[in-house]
Amino acid sequence: MTHFDFVIAGGGLAGLSLASRLAETPAFDQHSILVVEQDAKARNDRTFSFWSNGPGPFDAAISRSWDRLRVAGPSGVQDLALGDYRYHTIRGLDFYRHAQQRLARHANVELRRGRVQRIDDGPDAATVVIDGEAITATWAFDSRPPRLADRTDDHRHTRLKLYFRGWEIETPTAAFDPGVATFMDFRAPQDGDVRFFYVLPFAPDRALVEYTLFTDQRLTREETEQAIVSYMQSTLGIDDFRVVAEEGGCLPITDASFARRLGQRVLAIGVNGGRIKPSTGYAFSRVQADSQAIVQSLLAHGHPFGLPAGPASYRWLDAVMLRVMRDHGELIAPAFAALFSRNPTARILRFLDEQASPLDVLAIMASLPAPLFVGTALELAAGRMGRETERGKEGKGGMRPRKLRPA
């Protein structure tokens, strides 16, 4: 059987980020690395945005950066200076090509097109079955999409779907200010969910307009596309536009913990390893930090499992936020408006990065509607301690009281 030191299932964001980190670590020069990806990755299937206040490993692939962000809602529009931070965008296709080209420079790396059918754990090696061929790996990393369908612990945890639907559009005349990216614009019918748009203006006549929703409903493509048309026309006042590219997807979002260690030789990475922040849907920076932590663990311990768990307080805050989103989605827009008007943006970004000081956290908490979050936190705590609330009892069977939706 062919053997590799590292086999990575999936060559998307997490797989390619980890492969690059491993390949560029001199101590692993003589280690064989295989990345198995089922897709050609020849399409711009998503656009990665993230903020940072320092250099990152994929800066060379950044297509646009902004030093101002816009947050908008029914109560008004705020343009926010980012201080030391910049908001960056990398087109998915640029990321895949850039990472693949970097990996191609390393003789110890193989990028293989194929479908991983199974990963079987073992004491000394994992067996990875790719299109019927079994190979062994000292360490296997699994970024295939997670399967969460059979969870029945809704009274303890919240499960939502995160939809993305984006159109890159061109307009015949200038319609966008390329100096400011719209981070969140809640001026859209919320329908009991959390629904917002983000707009990445690449030029005065070109932007990516993306509809994003945290919901427990199932939406059709037509519904999401109709929402973009309405937003363009009624909020941005743009009637005349041409769609030049599109992207989209739906990810499971939950505060339930994801198993990282899938066996003695297998680690889950990316969305499959819970690297998406449940309350924001951002994963890019967390995936980079995780790749770095995996390499450090391999170097320090000889295994990839010595990963920081992250502060428990933030996991709890994510859980509360997700429950508020599920049960009181319509209150998120005013809460975000208050958050951004009462805090410097850099403090909010540090908080979302889970790097805020205790004083920062207190200031953030003080700017949110306390009764809503405290009430939800207590309800969640009661559910987790087994004292199921009425909602929890119904939630256990996968059902819960429907939110009131506009007729």
DSSP string computed for 331-362: GHHHHHHHHHHHS-HHHHHHHHTT---HHHHH
Q: Please state the closest distance from residue 17 (CB atom) to ligand FAD, in A.
A: 8
Task: Report the first-to-last Cα separation within the chain, whole angstroms.
Answer: 61
- Of 52, 43, 28, 3, whose CA–CA distance to 282 is shortest? 52
- Of 278, 267, 268, whose CA–CA distance to 320 is shortest? 278
Q: Please state the closest distance from residue 317 (CB atom) to ligand FAD, in A.
A: 18
The CA-based dihedral angle spanning residues 175, 178, 181, 187, taken in that order and rounded to the nearest 10 degrees = -10
DSSP-assigned beta bridge partners for residue 214: 162, 194
Cβ distance to ligand FAD smaller for residue 116 or 356: 116
> In this structure, what are the phi and psi dihedrals at residue 77, rounded to the nearest 5 degrees?
-120, 130
Residue type at 107 in one-letter notation: A
What 400-404 contacts at long range (C-beta under 8 Å, 24+ apart), as own/partner pairs, is: 400/154, 403/192, 403/327, 403/329, 404/192
Helix (H) or strand (E) run with residue 224 in it: helix 221-230
**Rounded Cα distance, 117 and 38, in Å:** 10
**Rounded Cα distance, 345 and 85, in Å:** 9
Q: Please state the closest distance from residue 251 (CB atom) to ligand FAD, in A.
A: 6
Cβ distance to ligand FAD smaller for residue 50 or 241: 50
Q: Please state the closest distance from residue 370 (CB atom) to ligand FAD, in A.
A: 29
Q: Please state the closest distance from residue 225 (CB atom) to ligand FAD, in A.
A: 14
Q: Please state the closest distance from residue 46 (CB atom) to ligand FAD, in A.
A: 4
**Which residues contact ligand FAD by CB under 6 A?**
9-15, 36-39, 46-50, 115-116, 143-145, 164, 247-249, 251, 270-272, 276, 282-284
Cβ distance to ligand FAD smaller for residue 251 or 382: 251
**Rounded Cα distance, 119 and 132, in Å:** 12
Cβ distance to ligand FAD smaller for residue 227 or 271: 271
Q: Please state the closest distance from residue 395 (CB atom) to ligand FAD, in A.
A: 26
Pairing state between β 159-170 and 181-185: unpaired
Q: Please state the closest distance from residue 13 (CB atom) to ligand FAD, in A.
A: 3
